[in-house]
Structure 1
Amino acid sequence: MKSTIVKSCTKASSVKREFHNSPLADPYAVVPATGFVRIDQILKLIPVSKNTWWTGVREGIYPTGIKWGHRTTVWKAEDIHQLISELSEVK
């Protein structure tokens, strides 16, 4: 259990460093202020693979999506903007 928590924290801090160095200055250009977004839009801003994103959702690192259809999941744009602001904070 402890190694899982350490691994999760390591992943999160790695994503924070990578996001902070991301060349995208305006997340609103990719993700609208309100509404819903799909995974491809999210991954343009957060530099992780789809597999890492879904693992982070299961582990509670990233927000839970809303099932929109049989093979479609969306996330609230507000939740993604909150995640982006948390990841961009330098500690």
Structure 2
Amino acid sequence: MTIIHQLPETGFLRCKQIVGDKKATPPIPPIIPISRTSWLDGVKSGKYPKPVKLGVRTTAWTVESIRALVESMGAAQ
């Protein structure tokens, strides 16, 4: 089962959940295997979905927007 199929139908994902974190315990596998910098550059340029501010220091992306992005990339199997 791919990671995209393990996502909830609705909710929010933080950056580390999208691009992964090998240093976390346990490691977080990436949904989109790119660097954090590449992800944020893509967000800034409009290539990737815009985030939602959940608080002063909390930024996240909707599961729906990430699922749509992965499906548009043809990675969802």
The count of residues paired between Structure 1 and Structure 2 equals 65
AA in 2 matched with 1:78: E
Unaligned runs of 5+ in 2: 20-29
Question: Residue 75 of structure 1 aligns with which residue?
Answer: 61
Question: Residue 10 of structure 2 aligns with which residue?
Answer: 34
Structure 1 residue 26: deviation in Å? 4.0
**Secondary structure of 2:60 counterpart:** strand
Equivalent-residue separation in structure 1 for 2:63 and 2:46 (angstroms): 17
**Secondary structure of 1:73 counterpart:** strand
Moved over 6 A (4+): none
Question: Residue 2 of structure 2 aligns with which residue?
Answer: 25
The percent identity for this pair of structures is 38
| Conserved 8 A contact 2:3-2:31 | no
Structure 1 residue 88: deviation in Å? 1.5
TM-score, structure 2 as length reference:
0.74
Unaligned runs of 5+ in 1: 1-23
Question: Residue 24 of structure 2 aligns with which residue?
Answer: none
Indicate the structure with greater helix content.
1
AA in 2 matched with 1:39: C
Equivalent-residue separation in structure 2 for 1:36 and 1:25 (angstroms): 18
- CA deviation digits over 1:57-91, x for unaligned, max 9? 000000000111222101111000000001126xx
AA in 2 matched with 1:77: V
